[in-house]
Amino acid sequence: MEEGTLKSPSHCKGTKDDAVRQWDVREDCEVRQILDRVADKWSLLVVALLDQGSWRFTELRREIDGISQRMLTVTLRNLERDGLVRRTVHPVVPPRVDYELTPLGATLHDTIQALVRWTESHQEEIAAARAAYDARATGDTP
C-alpha cells in the first residue's frame, strides 16, 4: 500500500569503503522482501515438493511432516500471490483443489533444489562441526 516512496538502485553506497556489496541489503528493498518469502521454512518445502507434478491439499499436508492446516493454507496463499503457485479448484463434490508450480515457480525450483542438495551433501560436515563446537563449549568454559 504505502510503497512507491522509496526506490533503491541495485547498486548501493557501502559503508565499508565504497561499493563492496554487490546487492541491496536495505530492509525496505524488494530483494529483502522477496528473500524473506522465498527463504521461508514452509515455502521451501512446498516448492520443492510441487516440482513433482500436481498435488492436492491433503496430499501436501500428509507429506510435509509437522505442518498445520493453517500454515499450509497461508503458505500456499502467499506463493499463489507471488505468482509461484497456481491453484485450481475443480467444481466437484467433494471439492478438489490442485496445486502446481507456475512457470515462474518452476524457475525457482532449480535454486531450491540446489539448496536442498547442498544440505544433503554437507550434512555430515555440519553435524561434525556442531559436535566439535558443543564439545569445545562444554569442556572449555567451566
Within positions 74 to 133, which residues make up the interface with DNA, using CB under 7 A? 74, 76-77, 87, 89, 94-97
Q: What single string gives the DSSP state of each residue in 127-141?
A: HHHHHHHHHHHHHH-
Query: Could you tell which of DNA, its own copies, none binds residue 114, using a CB distance below 5 to 8 A set by kind?
Result: its own copies
Minimum gap (Å) between residue 57 Cβ and its own copies: 13
Q: Are 100 and 76 a contacting pair, CB within 8 Å?
A: no
Amino acid identity of residue 102, one-letter, is: T
Query: Could you tell which of DNA, its own copies, none binds residue 140, using a CB distance below 5 to 8 A set by kind?
Result: none
* Residue closest to 55 by CA, chosen among 71, 70, 72: 72
Query: In the beta sheet, which residues pair with residue 86?
Result: 100
Within positions 41 to 80, which residues make up the interface with DNA, using CB under 7 A? 41-42, 56-59, 66-71, 73-74, 76-77
Q: Are 97 and 56 a contacting pair, CB within 8 Å?
A: yes
Q: In this chain, which of 90, 96, 97, 129 binds its own copies, going by CB under 8 A?
A: 129
The helix (run of H) or strand (run of E) holding residue 1 is none
| Residue partners of 115: CB distance under 8 A and separation at least 6 | 44
Minimum gap (Å) between residue 94 Cβ and DNA: 3
Interface residues toward its own copies, by CB under 8 A: 7-10, 12, 14-16, 20-23, 25-28, 30-32, 34-36, 38-41, 44-45, 48-49, 52-55, 59, 62-66, 80-84, 104, 107-108, 111, 114-116, 118-120, 122-123, 125-130, 132-134
